[in-house]
Amino acid sequence: MFFLYFVISFVPLVIFSATMNVVLENYFEGRNEQNLLYQANKLAGTIKTSNYLTDPSLSAKFLNDLDEKSVELTARIIALNADSQVIADTNRAETGKILIIPEVLDALQGTAAANLHENVGKIYASAAIDGNNGETSGAILLVYGFNEVYDLLASLSHDWFILTIIISIVIAIIVYITSSHIIRPLSRLVDSIRKIADGDLRERVNVKNKNEIGVLGNAINIMAEKLESDDSSRSEFVSNVSHELKTPLSSIKVLSESILLQDTAPEEMYKEFLQDINSEIDRMTNIINDLLSLVKLDNREAGINLKDTNLRKVLISIMKTLYPLAKVKDIELTLEADKDVIIEADETKLFLAISNLIDNAIKYTPPEGVVKVTLENDHQNAYISVADTGIGISKEEQPKIFNRFYRTDKTRDRETGGTGLGLAITHSTVLLHNGSIKVISKEGSGATFIVRLPVKQNKEDNK
């Protein structure tokens, strides 16, 4: 990451300084060439009008003029005749010699030219000197040292280089600090995830960043908490199952031993003990049946037999089976369901789930209380509510009652015959039907369970 940041910031700088040099060189070259061409043409015009080439008596003045111009332009000036012979040179070096270079030949053919000769670091600019009759009577050549510009560019690129190095160092420091700011927490995250993966479910990530890494850390912590709680609830479940089965087994053992140890016992005693043993066996059977139902619900693939189900009819048949129970306790059991509500459901599972709720309501309501079952619906959902006037459930216990084997403090020791699995079954069944369940209750003043189940969407409605 450090390397990446570095490249991203360093490479553009290098490219920038390199292109800058080329751009500047082209700029100076173009400007100078144009300027020199202009000056050469101007000079050629002056030479023509002053008759410097035709009047030999003016040659001293001519050279003097060129010298002045040369100082002004900081360029060497060479004048040539039509035969390409140097007739005046402000450096004096070439006077009398024949000078054959492309710019001079161009000028003698009537076209002015200006070019940079990079090997010598000079710009040659030429212009034709016209004769009186329209012919070309000579040429003027300006030689301008471009090395100054080269020096300037060299010193500029040196400055660029220094600047690039300084900026790179600053960027490197900033990037190092920020990347370690990101990488250190990340490697801490990775360490924690490894520990969690190795089975240390108590491990938590300690990341205080407020950025995405902090969010990730939090998510990992939540996941670890969930794993830990799943893990502990699994072992709790096994210990609960063992415990729940052990209690009736111990009773059976005590009961059977007491009969076995008695040589002669009255028949009524046998009967009574056997009845007790029988009811303990019933209890174990109930627990095992409930556990089997739960296992089936957990194993979603085991198949859920969905069919169009009329909720009102299901509720009516549940009422029929539970009515005798309510009657024994003198509880008023009512159903309010004026419309048929069709949902897609596994009727057997749903029957058991709702029965559990109504059965509980009767179980945990003292005699002469009221249990009211209501069915309502809107476009999307059906709502079944089971309200009782019983002992209620405290706020603290409400979230736990759907856990397997959970029984509230008030009911734990009671002989209600519950297994603590009923609500867990109801909860799983409702989830299996894509619904939800909630409880509204205040300790001592009844409880209302509300089940929401999605209704079957009529295909005609969707059109």
- 391 near ligand ADP, rule: CB under 6 A: yes
- Identify which of 114, 107, 67 has the alpha carbon closest to the alpha carbon of residue 83: 107
- 205 near ligand ADP, rule: CB under 6 A: no
For ligand ADP, the closer of residues 181 and 400 by Cβ is: 400
* Sole window of 56-64, 86-94, 137-145, 407-415 interacting with ligand ADP (rule: CB under 6 A): 407-415
117 strand-pairing partners: 122
- 333 near ligand ADP, rule: CB under 6 A: no
- 407 near ligand ADP, rule: CB under 6 A: yes
For ligand ADP, the closer of residues 338 and 413 by Cβ is: 413
* Sole window of 100-108, 160-168, 240-248, 406-414 interacting with ligand ADP (rule: CB under 6 A): 406-414
- Identify which of 160, 168, 165 has the alpha carbon closest to the alpha carbon of residue 3: 168
297: tokens are 């619900």
| 297 in Cβ contact with 429 (< 8 Å) | yes
| 382 in Cβ contact with 376 (< 8 Å) | yes
| 294 in Cβ contact with 405 (< 8 Å) | no
- 112 near ligand ADP, rule: CB under 6 A: no
- 422 near ligand ADP, rule: CB under 6 A: yes
User: Pick from 349, 420, 432, 452: which binds ligand ADP (CB under 6 A)?
Assistant: 420
- 389 near ligand ADP, rule: CB under 6 A: no
For ligand ADP, the closer of residues 114 and 439 by Cβ is: 439
For ligand ADP, the closer of residues 37 and 352 by Cβ is: 352
Q: How far apart are CA 50 and CA 138, in angstroms?
A: 14
Helix and strand numbers, DSSP H then E, in the chain: 11, 12
User: Measured between alpha carbons, how far is residue 67 from residues 64, 70, 77 in Å?
Assistant: 5, 5, 8
User: Pick from 406, 440, 450, 456: which binds ligand ADP (CB under 6 A)?
Assistant: 406
For ligand ADP, the closer of residues 238 and 265 by Cβ is: 238
127 strand-pairing partners: 140
For ligand ADP, the closer of residues 123 and 358 by Cβ is: 358
Shortest distance, CB of residue 186 to ligand ADP, whole angstroms? 44
User: Pick from 88, 350, 421, 432: which binds ligand ADP (CB under 6 A)?
Assistant: 421
CA dihedral 316, 317, 320, 325 (to 10 degrees): -110
Residue pointed to by tokens 């709680």: 229
- Identify which of 244, 241, 243, 237 has the alpha carbon closest to the alpha carbon of residue 417: 244
- 390 near ligand ADP, rule: CB under 6 A: yes
User: Measured between alpha carbons, how far is residue 402 from residues 168, 317, 337, 359, 406 in Å?
Assistant: 62, 25, 26, 15, 7
* Sole window of 40-48, 255-263, 294-302, 405-413 interacting with ligand ADP (rule: CB under 6 A): 405-413
Q: How far apart are CA 212 and CA 210, in angstroms?
A: 7
Q: How far apart are CA 349 and CA 346, in angstroms?
A: 6
Shortest distance, CB of residue 377 to ligand ADP, whole angstroms? 23
* Sole window of 147-155, 266-274, 355-363, 377-385 interacting with ligand ADP (rule: CB under 6 A): 355-363
DSSP per residue, 164-226: HHHHHHHHHHHHHHHHHHHHHHHHHHHHHHHHHHTT-TT-------SSHHHHHHHHHHHHHHH
Shortest distance, CB of residue 420 to ligand ADP, whole angstroms? 4
- 217 near ligand ADP, rule: CB under 6 A: no
- Identify which of 358, 349, 345, 356 has the alpha carbon closest to the alpha carbon of residue 421: 356
- 244 near ligand ADP, rule: CB under 6 A: no
For ligand ADP, the closer of residues 273 and 364 by Cβ is: 364
- 408 near ligand ADP, rule: CB under 6 A: yes
Residue nearest to ligand ADP (CB): 418
For ligand ADP, the closer of residues 80 and 430 by Cβ is: 430
* Sole window of 33-41, 148-156, 180-188, 400-408 interacting with ligand ADP (rule: CB under 6 A): 400-408
For ligand ADP, the closer of residues 79 and 384 by Cβ is: 384
Shortest distance, CB of residue 338 to ligand ADP, whole angstroms? 24
* Sole window of 118-126, 194-202, 320-328, 359-367 interacting with ligand ADP (rule: CB under 6 A): 359-367
- Amino acid letter at 390? G
Start-to-end CA distance of the chain, whole Å, equals 54
Q: Which residues bind ligand ADP (CB under 6 A)?
A: 356, 360-361, 364, 388, 390-393, 401, 406-408, 411, 418-424, 447
